[in-house]
Amino acid sequence: MPGPVYKFLYHKLAAEPRRWHPMLSVYYLTYACDFRCPYCSDGAQNPYYKLRSGILPADRVIALLRNVRACCDHLVITGGEPLKHPEFARIVDGLGEVRFRGLVLTTNGHDLEPHLEPVVRTFSQLVFSVDTLDRGKSDQWHGVGPGSSDRIFATIDRADRVRPSSCEIVISAVVTPDNIADLHEVYAWARDRGFAFAACPQLVGVKAHAELVGNPAYKALFDMLIAEKRAARRVFGTVPYLERMRDLSRFRCRPLTMLVVSPIGDVFYPCLERGSFAGNLLDTPDLHALLEAGRREHGSLPTCDVQCHSACALGFATVLDKPWAVAQEAWLSLRAT
């Protein structure tokens, strides 16, 4: 597998890549989730918990992830809620052998407590969704009854106590028209505990929620995060990335910087948001062959409108457009408090 510098230059220079060299892979372990977050949506405005898909047993998941590892150093395991996979514990056990360089778990945190020790030993980043500190409001958003927020905050506290230094906690927030003010408090709470903080706008399908576009409170939130970033706080993303998130401006998306895989191993082409597949990575471990199959079936890479302001799509596009920001990021990371 080519190294990160080759991959970076390949994506920077190739107008229409004929090889698939992902810099990050994302695996949807299961779409199942008990929560009912009001913003939950894939690229076609379907909440993940309503998507119908099979899942793989643990040994097939590990076989699939070996194929992912053959072409990518970094993996995010997400969902749905990954903890809803019935063999989650066995999968975590098996992940150690696959040896990803960076391994991220995203979770709502509700069912994590019994798995905490192996999880913090295995993953390099543990990403918790927190959209407000208001327990009543977040319980209502979760939709699983009173007390869900208390339980999640207790788990985050415990994760912080038991985690080794190799496991970073990230607090991830979705910015909606209904929680912008709350997120100033969430950020301060995360910062005071030494957690990293990431914020992305609510997407309705592929577009930022209409009430966020040109919204002064939304802009002020990102202005605050940019100022904090410049002060070397642990805010996710480079400064230009945060500026683009704030402005919701157009960017040139490079979907092949990512490899996104469905619960049963189907590879999205060109991206999750389009909802089309190139083939199955268990059946066809050759990702370049899958790229050709995707291109034949679904055409060349699209040129998209002002959309998909997600961490991955915008993050890689910005790094490729403004590589100097990587050096700035490295400098800020060294000084991070």
Considering only residues 304, 319, 320, 332, which one is a binding residue for ligand SF4 as defined by CB under 6 A?
304
DSSP secondary structure letters along 186-208: HHHHHHHTT-EEEEEEPEETTEE
Q: Which stretch binds ligand SF4 (CB under 6 A): 42-50, 161-169, 192-200, 287-295?
A: 42-50
Name residues contacting ligand SF4, limited to 252-281 (CB under 6 A): 253, 255, 270-271, 273-274
- Residue 3 CB, shortest distance to ligand SF4, in Å, is 25
Return d(Cα 60, Cα 201) in angstroms, integer: 34
> Cα torsion at 164, 150, 76, 100 (round to 10°)?
20
- Residue 33 CB, shortest distance to ligand SF4, in Å, is 3
DSSP secondary structure letters along 226-273: HHHHHTT--BSS-HHHHHHHHHT------GGGEEEE-TTSEEESS-GG
- Residue 32 CB, shortest distance to ligand SF4, in Å, is 9
Nearer to ligand SF4, 251 or 332 (CB): 251
Q: Residue 79 is inside which H or E element, if any? A: strand 74-79
Q: In which residue are the tokens 């372990």 written? A: 29
Q: Which stretch binds ligand SF4 (CB under 6 A): 22-30, 31-39, 68-76, 320-328?
A: 31-39
Considering only residues 36, 50, 99, 288, which one is a binding residue for ligand SF4 as defined by CB under 6 A?
36
313 belongs to the binding site for ligand SF4 (CB under 6 A): yes
Nearer to ligand SF4, 131 or 243 (CB): 131
80 belongs to the binding site for ligand SF4 (CB under 6 A): yes
Nearer to ligand SF4, 61 or 206 (CB): 206
Angle at CA of residue 208, ends 205 and 209, nearest 5°? 90
Written as six digits, the tokens of 53 are 């898909």
- Residue 115 CB, shortest distance to ligand SF4, in Å, is 16
Q: In which residue are the tokens 């009173």 written? A: 146
Considering only residues 275, 302, 306, 333, which one is a binding residue for ligand SF4 as defined by CB under 6 A?
302
Q: Which stretch binds ligand SF4 (CB under 6 A): 52-60, 61-69, 306-314, 322-330?
A: 306-314
Q: Residue 300 is inside which H or E element, if any? A: none
Q: Which stretch binds ligand SF4 (CB under 6 A): 8-16, 46-54, 94-102, 147-155?
A: 46-54
CA dihedral (7, 8, 11, 13) positive or negative: negative
Return d(Cα 286, Cα 279) in angstroms, integer: 10
Nearer to ligand SF4, 17 or 80 (CB): 80
Number of residues located near ligand SF4, criterion CB under 6 A: 25
- Residue 44 CB, shortest distance to ligand SF4, in Å, is 11
Closest CA to 329 of 199, 235, 227: 235
Angle, helix 135-142 to helix 148-162, in steps of 10 degrees: 100
Q: 50-79 mask for ligand SF4 (x: CB under 6 A)?
A: -----------------------------x
Name residues contacting ligand SF4, limited to 110-139 (CB under 6 A): 129
φ, ψ of residue 61 in degrees (nearest 5): -60, -45
- Residue 187 has a CB neighbour count (10 Å cut-off) of 22
308 belongs to the binding site for ligand SF4 (CB under 6 A): yes
- Residue 178 CB, shortest distance to ligand SF4, in Å, is 14
Written as six digits, the tokens of 202 are 């609510």
Residues that bind ligand SF4 (CB under 6 A): 33, 35-37, 40, 47-49, 79-81, 108, 129, 206, 253, 255, 270-271, 273-274, 302, 304, 307-308, 313
